[in-house]
Protein backbone atom coordinates (compact mmCIF):
# COMPACT_ATOMS: atom_id res chain seq x y z
CA UNK A 1 0.00 0.00 0.00
CA UNK A 2 1.56 3.26 -1.08
CA UNK A 3 1.43 6.33 1.08
CA UNK A 4 -0.98 9.02 0.02
CA UNK A 5 0.99 11.77 -1.67
CA UNK A 6 0.22 15.46 -1.44
CA UNK A 7 -0.89 15.28 -5.05
CA UNK A 8 -3.43 12.56 -4.26
CA UNK A 9 -4.90 14.66 -1.52
CA UNK A 10 -5.10 17.71 -3.76
CA UNK A 11 -6.89 15.74 -6.47
CA UNK A 12 -10.36 17.10 -7.09
CA UNK A 13 -12.90 14.56 -8.37
CA UNK A 14 -14.62 15.06 -11.71
CA UNK A 15 -18.24 14.79 -10.51
CA UNK A 16 -19.73 17.14 -7.91
CA UNK A 17 -21.31 14.14 -6.15
CA UNK A 18 -17.78 12.82 -5.44
CA UNK A 19 -16.69 16.09 -3.86
CA UNK A 20 -17.40 17.84 -0.59
CA UNK A 21 -18.57 21.38 -1.21
CA UNK A 22 -19.23 23.55 1.83
CA UNK A 23 -21.41 26.64 1.75
CA UNK A 24 -18.51 28.97 2.54
CA UNK A 25 -15.56 28.46 0.23
CA UNK A 26 -12.32 30.22 -0.61
CA UNK A 27 -12.77 31.36 -4.20
CA UNK A 28 -15.75 33.70 -4.12
CA UNK A 29 -14.39 36.30 -6.54
CA UNK A 30 -13.67 33.65 -9.18
CA UNK A 31 -16.94 31.73 -8.78
CA UNK A 32 -18.98 34.94 -8.99
CA UNK A 33 -17.22 35.87 -12.23
CA UNK A 34 -17.80 32.42 -13.73
CA UNK A 35 -21.42 32.30 -12.58
CA UNK A 36 -22.08 35.65 -14.22
CA UNK A 37 -20.91 34.41 -17.61
CA UNK A 38 -22.74 31.12 -17.03
CA UNK A 39 -25.97 33.03 -16.46
CA UNK A 40 -25.34 35.22 -19.48
CA UNK A 41 -24.82 32.11 -21.65
CA UNK A 42 -28.13 30.67 -20.43
CA UNK A 43 -29.84 33.99 -21.21
CA UNK A 44 -28.55 33.56 -24.78
CA UNK A 45 -29.81 30.01 -24.99
CA UNK A 46 -26.25 28.59 -24.99
CA UNK A 47 -26.89 25.79 -22.54
CA UNK A 48 -23.61 23.97 -23.20
CA UNK A 49 -21.53 27.06 -22.53
CA UNK A 50 -23.58 27.89 -19.46
CA UNK A 51 -23.04 24.40 -18.07
CA UNK A 52 -19.30 24.55 -18.71
CA UNK A 53 -18.94 27.80 -16.78
CA UNK A 54 -21.10 26.68 -13.89
CA UNK A 55 -19.17 23.39 -13.68
CA UNK A 56 -15.92 25.32 -13.48
CA UNK A 57 -17.38 27.49 -10.70
CA UNK A 58 -18.61 24.38 -8.90
CA UNK A 59 -15.14 22.79 -8.98
CA UNK A 60 -13.60 25.94 -7.47
CA UNK A 61 -16.19 25.87 -4.66
CA UNK A 62 -14.87 22.49 -3.56
CA UNK A 63 -11.20 23.53 -3.74
CA UNK A 64 -9.97 23.94 -0.16
CA UNK A 65 -7.47 26.69 -0.99
CA UNK A 66 -7.64 30.09 -2.60
CA UNK A 67 -6.46 29.94 -6.20
CA UNK A 68 -3.56 32.39 -6.51
CA UNK A 69 -2.23 31.56 -9.96
CA UNK A 70 -3.43 29.70 -13.06
CA UNK A 71 -0.83 27.06 -12.17
CA UNK A 72 -3.06 26.10 -9.23
CA UNK A 73 -5.67 25.00 -11.77
CA UNK A 74 -3.58 22.11 -13.07
CA UNK A 75 -4.99 19.68 -10.48
CA UNK A 76 -8.57 20.74 -11.18
CA UNK A 77 -10.89 18.96 -13.63
CA UNK A 78 -13.49 20.61 -15.82
CA UNK A 79 -11.92 24.04 -16.23
CA UNK A 80 -12.04 24.82 -19.94
CA UNK A 81 -10.01 27.35 -21.93
CA UNK A 82 -12.55 30.12 -21.63
CA UNK A 83 -13.04 29.66 -17.88
CA UNK A 84 -9.27 29.62 -17.44
CA UNK A 85 -8.97 32.91 -19.32
CA UNK A 86 -11.57 34.56 -17.09
CA UNK A 87 -9.88 33.22 -13.97
CA UNK A 88 -6.54 34.53 -15.20
CA UNK A 89 -7.97 38.01 -15.80
CA UNK A 90 -9.47 38.13 -12.33
CA UNK A 91 -6.23 36.91 -10.74
CA UNK A 92 -4.07 39.38 -12.65
CA UNK A 93 -6.26 42.47 -12.88
CA UNK A 94 -8.72 41.97 -10.02
CA UNK A 95 -11.57 41.72 -12.55
CA UNK A 96 -12.30 40.29 -15.97
CA UNK A 97 -13.16 42.79 -18.72
CA UNK A 98 -15.48 40.25 -20.30
CA UNK A 99 -17.38 39.69 -17.06
CA UNK A 100 -17.58 43.42 -16.34
CA UNK A 101 -19.01 43.99 -19.83
CA UNK A 102 -21.69 41.41 -19.16
CA UNK A 103 -22.52 42.98 -15.78
CA UNK A 104 -22.89 46.42 -17.39
CA UNK A 105 -24.85 45.27 -20.40
CA UNK A 106 -28.43 46.43 -20.72
CA UNK A 107 -29.56 43.06 -21.98
CA UNK A 108 -28.06 41.12 -19.06
CA UNK A 109 -29.43 43.51 -16.44
CA UNK A 110 -32.88 43.58 -18.00
CA UNK A 111 -33.08 39.81 -18.37
CA UNK A 112 -31.97 39.40 -14.77
CA UNK A 113 -34.69 41.75 -13.51
CA UNK A 114 -37.40 40.13 -15.62
CA UNK A 115 -36.35 36.66 -14.52
CA UNK A 116 -36.82 37.74 -10.91
CA UNK A 117 -40.57 37.83 -11.54
CA UNK A 118 -42.25 34.64 -10.35
CA UNK A 119 -43.41 32.70 -13.41
CA UNK A 120 -40.92 34.27 -15.81
CA UNK A 121 -38.20 32.14 -17.42
CA UNK A 122 -35.45 32.85 -19.92
CA UNK A 123 -37.79 32.52 -22.92
CA UNK A 124 -40.33 35.04 -21.68
CA UNK A 125 -37.69 37.48 -20.44
CA UNK A 126 -35.90 37.25 -23.80
CA UNK A 127 -39.11 37.86 -25.75
CA UNK A 128 -39.95 40.93 -23.69
CA UNK A 129 -36.46 42.26 -24.25
CA UNK A 130 -36.81 41.72 -28.00
CA UNK A 131 -40.08 43.64 -27.89
CA UNK A 132 -38.24 46.59 -26.42
CA UNK A 133 -39.46 46.27 -22.84
CA UNK A 134 -36.78 47.22 -20.31
CA UNK A 135 -38.15 47.89 -16.86
CA UNK A 136 -40.67 46.55 -14.41
CA UNK A 137 -42.74 49.70 -15.06
CA UNK A 138 -42.75 48.89 -18.78
CA UNK A 139 -44.37 45.58 -17.84
CA UNK A 140 -46.90 47.20 -15.58
CA UNK A 141 -47.89 49.36 -18.52
CA UNK A 142 -48.34 46.24 -20.69
CA UNK A 143 -50.22 44.23 -18.10
CA UNK A 144 -51.99 42.15 -20.73
CA UNK A 145 -48.72 40.43 -21.53
CA UNK A 146 -48.67 38.70 -18.16
CA UNK A 147 -50.28 35.39 -17.28
CA UNK A 148 -51.92 35.00 -13.89
CA UNK A 149 -48.81 33.64 -12.16
CA UNK A 150 -46.70 36.50 -13.49
CA UNK A 151 -49.29 39.06 -12.40
CA UNK A 152 -49.10 37.75 -8.84
CA UNK A 153 -45.30 37.70 -9.21
CA UNK A 154 -45.27 41.35 -10.21
CA UNK A 155 -47.63 42.29 -7.41
CA UNK A 156 -45.27 40.76 -4.83
CA UNK A 157 -42.02 41.53 -6.65
CA UNK A 158 -40.34 43.15 -3.63
CA UNK A 159 -41.24 40.41 -1.13
CA UNK A 160 -40.43 37.56 -3.49
CA UNK A 161 -36.99 38.98 -4.15
CA UNK A 162 -36.08 39.59 -0.55
CA UNK A 163 -34.37 36.55 0.96
CA UNK A 164 -36.49 34.08 2.92
CA UNK A 165 -35.06 33.70 6.42
CA UNK A 166 -34.66 30.35 8.10
CA UNK A 167 -37.10 31.48 10.82
CA UNK A 168 -39.67 32.23 8.12
CA UNK A 169 -39.10 28.83 6.51
CA UNK A 170 -39.59 27.17 9.90
CA UNK A 171 -42.79 29.12 10.51
CA UNK A 172 -44.10 27.83 7.17
CA UNK A 173 -43.16 24.25 8.10
CA UNK A 174 -45.30 24.67 11.25
CA UNK A 175 -48.27 25.99 9.29
CA UNK A 176 -48.08 23.18 6.73
CA UNK A 177 -47.62 20.57 9.48
CA UNK A 178 -50.76 21.88 11.15
CA UNK A 179 -52.66 21.56 7.87
CA UNK A 180 -51.31 18.06 7.22
CA UNK A 181 -52.16 16.89 10.78
CA UNK A 182 -55.84 17.57 10.22
CA UNK A 183 -56.12 15.28 7.23
CA UNK A 184 -53.43 12.69 7.81
CA UNK A 185 -52.06 12.31 11.34
CA UNK A 186 -48.60 10.77 11.33
CA UNK A 187 -47.53 12.49 8.12
CA UNK A 188 -44.32 14.52 8.22
CA UNK A 189 -43.28 17.79 6.64
CA UNK A 190 -39.58 18.04 5.83
CA UNK A 191 -37.64 21.17 4.90
CA UNK A 192 -35.34 20.47 1.93
CA UNK A 193 -33.59 22.63 -0.72
CA UNK A 194 -30.94 25.14 0.29
CA UNK A 195 -32.07 25.29 3.92
CA UNK A 196 -31.28 21.59 4.36
CA UNK A 197 -27.80 22.30 2.97
CA UNK A 198 -27.31 24.79 5.80
CA UNK A 199 -28.15 28.04 4.02
CA UNK A 200 -29.47 30.72 6.36
CA UNK A 201 -31.60 32.29 3.61
CA UNK A 202 -33.22 31.06 0.42
CA UNK A 203 -35.27 32.22 -2.53
CA UNK A 204 -38.07 29.86 -1.58
CA UNK A 205 -39.12 27.12 0.84
CA UNK A 206 -38.98 23.55 -0.49
CA UNK A 207 -41.11 21.09 1.48
CA UNK A 208 -41.58 17.34 1.19
CA UNK A 209 -44.59 15.62 2.71
CA UNK A 210 -44.82 11.88 3.31
CA UNK A 211 -46.53 9.24 5.49
CA UNK A 212 -44.95 5.95 6.69
CA UNK A 213 -47.89 3.94 5.37
CA UNK A 214 -47.51 3.73 1.59
CA UNK A 215 -50.59 4.98 -0.22
CA UNK A 216 -51.93 7.06 2.68
CA UNK A 217 -50.48 10.16 1.09
CA UNK A 218 -52.73 9.89 -1.96
CA UNK A 219 -55.07 12.84 -2.34
CA UNK A 220 -53.47 14.68 0.57
CA UNK A 221 -52.07 17.65 -1.33
CA UNK A 222 -55.34 19.03 -2.63
CA UNK A 223 -56.90 18.87 0.84
CA UNK A 224 -53.93 20.60 2.42
CA UNK A 225 -53.86 23.30 -0.24
CA UNK A 226 -57.62 23.96 0.03
CA UNK A 227 -57.36 24.29 3.79
CA UNK A 228 -54.37 26.62 3.63
CA UNK A 229 -56.24 28.67 1.04
CA UNK A 230 -59.40 28.87 3.15
CA UNK A 231 -57.32 30.07 6.12
CA UNK A 232 -55.86 32.91 4.06
CA UNK A 233 -52.34 31.47 3.84
CA UNK A 234 -52.19 31.35 0.08
CA UNK A 235 -51.76 34.20 -2.35
CA UNK A 236 -51.31 31.86 -5.30
CA UNK A 237 -51.19 28.13 -5.94
CA UNK A 238 -50.93 25.83 -8.88
CA UNK A 239 -50.96 22.05 -8.46
CA UNK A 240 -49.41 19.58 -10.85
CA UNK A 241 -49.20 15.83 -11.06
CA UNK A 242 -45.62 16.18 -12.07
CA UNK A 243 -42.78 16.97 -9.71
CA UNK A 244 -39.62 17.66 -11.57
CA UNK A 245 -38.76 19.76 -14.52
CA UNK A 246 -35.82 18.18 -16.26
CA UNK A 247 -32.56 19.99 -15.73
CA UNK A 248 -31.06 21.83 -18.69
CA UNK A 249 -29.29 18.69 -19.84
CA UNK A 250 -32.10 17.22 -21.91
CA UNK A 251 -30.61 13.82 -22.64
CA UNK A 252 -30.50 13.07 -18.92
CA UNK A 253 -34.13 13.76 -18.29
CA UNK A 254 -36.31 10.72 -17.83
CA UNK A 255 -39.46 10.04 -19.76
CA UNK A 256 -42.63 11.80 -18.78
CA UNK A 257 -44.18 8.59 -17.50
CA UNK A 258 -41.69 8.25 -14.67
CA UNK A 259 -42.05 11.89 -13.79
CA UNK A 260 -45.76 12.35 -13.31
CA UNK A 261 -46.22 10.44 -10.08
CA UNK A 262 -45.88 13.14 -7.47
CA UNK A 263 -48.25 15.79 -6.43
CA UNK A 264 -46.53 19.11 -6.53
CA UNK A 265 -47.80 22.57 -5.73
CA UNK A 266 -46.06 25.82 -6.64
CA UNK A 267 -47.39 28.43 -4.30
CA UNK A 268 -46.98 31.83 -2.76
CA UNK A 269 -47.71 31.96 0.94
CA UNK A 270 -48.80 34.94 2.91
CA UNK A 271 -46.78 34.81 6.07
CA UNK A 272 -47.93 37.13 8.79
CA UNK A 273 -46.00 38.02 11.87
CA UNK A 274 -46.29 40.54 14.67
CA UNK A 275 -43.46 43.03 14.53
CA UNK A 276 -42.62 45.19 17.48
CA UNK A 277 -42.75 48.75 16.29
CA UNK A 278 -41.50 51.62 18.38
CA UNK A 279 -44.41 53.70 19.54
CA UNK A 280 -47.01 50.99 19.23
CA UNK A 281 -47.02 50.35 22.98
CA UNK A 282 -48.05 53.96 23.41
CA UNK A 283 -51.16 53.33 21.38
CA UNK A 284 -51.81 50.25 23.42
CA UNK A 285 -51.35 47.74 20.63
CA UNK A 286 -48.85 44.90 20.88
CA UNK A 287 -47.19 45.61 17.54
CA UNK A 288 -47.88 45.93 13.87
CA UNK A 289 -49.20 43.17 11.65
CA UNK A 290 -46.64 42.49 8.97
CA UNK A 291 -47.32 40.35 5.92
CA UNK A 292 -44.75 38.87 3.59
CA UNK A 293 -45.22 36.88 0.40
CA UNK A 294 -42.99 33.77 0.29
CA UNK A 295 -42.51 31.20 -2.49
CA UNK A 296 -43.25 27.67 -1.29
CA UNK A 297 -42.95 24.39 -3.20
CA UNK A 298 -44.97 21.55 -1.71
CA UNK A 299 -44.23 18.00 -2.86
CA UNK A 300 -46.06 14.90 -1.65
CA UNK A 301 -44.17 11.63 -1.99
CA UNK A 302 -45.01 7.97 -1.31
CA UNK A 303 -42.86 6.61 1.52
CA UNK A 304 -41.02 4.13 -0.73
CA UNK A 305 -39.76 7.04 -2.83
CA UNK A 306 -39.03 9.40 0.04
CA UNK A 307 -35.22 8.93 0.10
CA UNK A 308 -35.02 9.58 -3.62
CA UNK A 309 -37.19 12.67 -3.29
CA UNK A 310 -35.13 13.91 -0.34
CA UNK A 311 -31.89 13.45 -2.27
CA UNK A 312 -33.41 15.03 -5.38
CA UNK A 313 -34.84 18.06 -3.62
CA UNK A 314 -31.90 18.86 -1.38
CA UNK A 315 -29.77 20.01 -4.32
CA UNK A 316 -27.72 21.90 -5.14
CA UNK A 317 -28.58 21.91 -8.82
CA UNK A 318 -24.97 21.22 -9.77
CA UNK A 319 -24.85 18.37 -7.26
CA UNK A 320 -28.09 16.88 -8.63
CA UNK A 321 -26.97 17.19 -12.21
CA UNK A 322 -23.72 15.38 -11.49
CA UNK A 323 -25.45 12.67 -9.45
CA UNK A 324 -27.49 11.88 -12.54
CA UNK A 325 -24.54 12.11 -14.90
CA UNK A 326 -22.44 9.91 -12.63
CA UNK A 327 -25.26 7.35 -12.35
CA UNK A 328 -25.71 7.23 -16.09
CA UNK A 329 -22.14 7.31 -17.38
CA UNK A 330 -20.26 5.60 -14.56
CA UNK A 331 -22.87 3.13 -13.28
CA UNK A 332 -25.35 2.61 -16.12
CA UNK A 333 -28.14 3.60 -13.79
CA UNK A 334 -30.92 6.14 -14.08
CA UNK A 335 -31.48 8.23 -10.96
CA UNK A 336 -34.38 10.59 -10.47
CA UNK A 337 -36.35 11.85 -7.49
CA UNK A 338 -38.50 8.68 -7.48
CA UNK A 339 -36.23 5.75 -8.19
CA UNK A 340 -32.86 4.31 -9.12
CA UNK A 341 -32.92 1.97 -12.11
CA UNK A 342 -30.12 -0.32 -13.24
CA UNK A 343 -30.37 -0.31 -17.04
CA UNK A 344 -28.35 -3.51 -17.60
CA UNK A 345 -29.74 -5.62 -14.77
CA UNK A 346 -33.13 -4.06 -15.52
CA UNK A 347 -34.03 -3.71 -11.86
CA UNK A 348 -35.11 -0.90 -9.57
CA UNK A 349 -32.90 -0.49 -6.51
CA UNK A 350 -34.82 0.45 -3.40
CA UNK A 351 -33.44 2.63 -0.64
CA UNK A 352 -34.71 3.47 2.83
CA UNK A 353 -32.26 6.33 3.30
CA UNK A 354 -30.03 8.68 1.32
CA UNK A 355 -27.04 6.70 2.59
CA UNK A 356 -28.37 3.59 0.80
CA UNK A 357 -28.63 5.48 -2.47
CA UNK A 358 -24.99 6.60 -2.21
CA UNK A 359 -24.09 2.95 -1.44
CA UNK A 360 -25.93 1.67 -4.52
CA UNK A 361 -23.94 4.17 -6.58
CA UNK A 362 -20.65 3.24 -4.94
CA UNK A 363 -20.22 6.80 -3.68
CA UNK A 364 -19.04 8.01 -0.29
CA UNK A 365 -21.91 9.61 1.57
CA UNK A 366 -21.88 13.38 1.26
CA UNK A 367 -23.83 15.19 3.97
CA UNK A 368 -26.34 17.85 2.87
CA UNK A 369 -24.06 20.62 4.20
CA UNK A 370 -21.36 19.42 1.79
CA UNK A 371 -23.62 19.42 -1.29
CA UNK A 372 -23.33 23.14 -2.03
CA UNK A 373 -21.72 22.44 -5.41
N1 LIG B 1 -34.16 20.75 -8.20
C2 LIG B 1 -33.58 20.17 -9.30
N3 LIG B 1 -34.07 20.41 -10.53
C4 LIG B 1 -35.10 21.23 -10.70
C5 LIG B 1 -35.71 21.84 -9.61
C6 LIG B 1 -35.21 21.58 -8.36
O7 LIG B 1 -32.63 19.42 -9.15
N8 LIG B 1 -35.54 21.46 -11.94
C9 LIG B 1 -33.64 20.48 -6.87
C10 LIG B 1 -32.28 21.05 -6.64
C11 LIG B 1 -32.53 22.23 -5.79
C12 LIG B 1 -33.80 21.89 -5.05
O13 LIG B 1 -34.50 21.02 -5.91
O14 LIG B 1 -31.49 22.49 -4.91
C15 LIG B 1 -34.61 23.07 -4.72
O16 LIG B 1 -34.67 23.97 -5.81
P17 LIG B 1 -34.45 25.52 -5.60
O18 LIG B 1 -34.53 26.16 -6.94
O19 LIG B 1 -35.38 26.02 -4.55
O20 LIG B 1 -32.93 25.64 -5.11
P21 LIG B 1 -32.29 25.79 -3.68
O22 LIG B 1 -33.29 25.49 -2.62
O23 LIG B 1 -31.06 24.99 -3.74
O24 LIG B 1 -31.87 27.30 -3.64
P25 LIG B 1 -32.61 28.56 -2.98
O26 LIG B 1 -31.96 28.72 -1.65
O27 LIG B 1 -32.32 29.69 -3.90
O28 LIG B 1 -34.06 28.27 -2.87
MG1 LIG C 1 -35.12 26.48 -2.51
Of the residues 72, 138, 229, 297, only one is catalytic, namely 297
Phi, psi of 361 (to 5 degrees): -85, 0
Under 8 Å CB-to-CB from 305, ≥6 apart: which residues?
261, 337, 338, 339
206 is catalytic: yes
- For ligand 1, atom 2, the nearest C-alpha belongs to 317
pLDDT for residue 186: 98
How far is Cα 373 from Cα 353, in angstroms, rounded to an integer? 21
Q: Residue 289 CB: number of other CB atoms within 10 A?
A: 10
CB distance 149 to 236 below 8 Å? yes
72 is catalytic: no
- For ligand 1, atom 27, the nearest C-alpha belongs to 203
How far is Cα 316 from Cα 65, in angstroms, rounded to an integer? 21
Chunked mean pLDDT (size 10), the chain, 373 residues: 59 96 98 98 98 98 97 96 98 98 98 97 97 95 88 96 98 98 98 98 98 96 97 95 48 42 88 66 62 97 97 98 98 97 98 98 98 98
Closest CA to 105 of 40, 52, 46, 33: 40
Taking the centre of ligand 1 as the mean of its atom positions, its distance from the CA of residue 258, in whole angstroms, is 19
Q: What are the beta bridge partners of residue 30?
A: none
Classify each residue of 54-93 as buried b or exposed e, where b means 16 or more C-beta atoms within 10 Å of its C-beta. bbbbbbbbbbeeebeeeebbeebebbeebbeebbebbbee
Under 8 Å CB-to-CB from 15, ≥6 apart: which residues?
322, 323, 325, 326, 330
- For ligand 1, atom 13, the nearest C-alpha belongs to 313
β 188-191/205-210 pair status: antiparallel
Of 16, 191, 193, the one to substitute when testing ligand 1's pocket (max ligand atoms within 8 A of C-beta) is: 193
CB distance 206 to 192 below 8 Å? yes
Taking the centre of ligand 2 as the mean of its atom positions, its distance from the CA of residue 19, in whole angstroms, is 21
DSSP calls for 132-156: T--SHHHHHHTGGG--HHHHHHHHT
How far is Cα 152 from Cα 161, in angstroms, rounded to an integer? 13
pLDDT for residue 257: 39
Judged by its nearest atom, the ligand closest to the C-alpha of residue 16 is 1
Judged by its nearest atom, the ligand closest to the C-alpha of residue 23 is 1
pLDDT for residue 280: 43
pLDDT for residue 32: 98
pLDDT for residue 258: 41
Of the residues 72, 93, 204, 260, only one is catalytic, namely 204
Judged by phi (left if over 0) then psi (alpha if -120 to 50, else beta), residue 186 lies in left
Q: Tens digit of pLDDT for each residue in 108-123?
A: 999 999 999 999 999 9
DSSP calls for 267-322: EEEEEEEEE--TTHHHHT-S-EEEEEEEEEEEEE--GGGHHHHHHHHH--HHHHHH
CB distance 68 to 31 below 8 Å? no
* Interface predicted TM-score (ipTM) of this complex, two decimals: 0.95
pLDDT for residue 262: 61
**Reported pTM:** 0.91
How far is Cα 373 from Cα 60, in angstroms, rounded to an integer? 9
- For ligand 1, atom 24, the nearest C-alpha belongs to 194
204 is catalytic: yes
User: Strand, helix or coil at 333?
Assistant: strand
pLDDT for residue 278: 55
Taking the centre of ligand 2 as the mean of its atom positions, its distance from the CA of residue 194, in whole angstroms, is 5
pLDDT for residue 289: 81
Q: Identify the residues whose C-beta falls under 6 Å from ligand 1.
A: 193-194, 199, 202-204, 206, 244-245, 247, 313, 315-317, 320
Q: What are the beta bridge partners of residue 294?
A: 269
Closest CA to 179 of 138, 213, 135, 229: 229
Amino acid sequence: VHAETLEDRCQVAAYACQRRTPLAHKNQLLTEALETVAEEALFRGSEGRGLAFSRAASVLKSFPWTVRSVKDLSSLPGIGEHSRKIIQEVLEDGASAEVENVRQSERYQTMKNFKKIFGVGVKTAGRWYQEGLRTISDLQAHHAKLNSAQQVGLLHYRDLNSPVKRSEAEAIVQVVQKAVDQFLPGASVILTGGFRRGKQTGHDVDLLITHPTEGQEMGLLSKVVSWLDSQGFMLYHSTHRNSFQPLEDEELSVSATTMDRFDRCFSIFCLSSMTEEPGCELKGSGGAHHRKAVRVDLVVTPYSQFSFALLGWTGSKNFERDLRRFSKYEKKMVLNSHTLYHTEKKIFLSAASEEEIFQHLGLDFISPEQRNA
